[in-house]
Amino acid sequence: TALVLNILVAGIGTIRFSQAGYFSWRALWPFLAGSMPLAFIGGAITLPGGAYKVVVGVILLFAAVWLALPERVKSERPGRFPLIPILPAIGTGGVIGLLSGLTGTGGGIFLSPLLIFSQWARMRETAGVCAPFILANSSAGLLGHLTSVQNLPSEIPVWAIAAVIGGLIGTELGRRRLGIPMLQRLLAIVLVIAGLKLILT
């Protein structure tokens, strides 16, 4: 269910952030090259216990605190960040892809703080890279879970409509309406929710 909804919302984000000029294929492809094969593998694996989820959840909470620090919440400085180094991007993409397949996420929740921490992309550029990243990884993860598609709940059409509406509103706010400090605070809140979900479920 999570992967299906990811595909819908990330598809909207990919189109709309690309139209606004925040998409970069040069920034995206190294992460995809590493992540998609391992997202497929992770989607086919069911791990016993939840220790790995606790570890990932704690990392996300740490990232949320870092983002929310007053000295981090500020407007973006002018100019572009350096080009993303290809080999580190492929390697980290592989780790993120495996985690996204294992946890049923699109991986953007892991890639977003990485791009910002490393200063590889600015806030809106991060959204422009993460949307197609989530779309690709969710598709690969769903292929790994293909036998589960027949067990999707009957409520999925209603959830899909809600997700599409939320995706349209969110991308409009992210592209044009909200300032960078607010977007950064919202990302911190999302990381807290995702981290607690992994730890507590």
Q: For 143-187, what is each residue's pLDDT tens digit?
A: 777 766 677 888 999 999 999 999 999 999 998 888 888 888 899
pLDDT tops 50 at residue 95: yes
Tell me the whole-structure pTM to 2 decimals.
0.83
Question: How far are the Cα atoms of 31, 49, 113, 115 from residue 37, in angstroms, in the given order?
Answer: 11, 24, 22, 21
pLDDT for the residue 78: 46
Task: Say if residue 39's pLDDT is above 90.
Answer: no
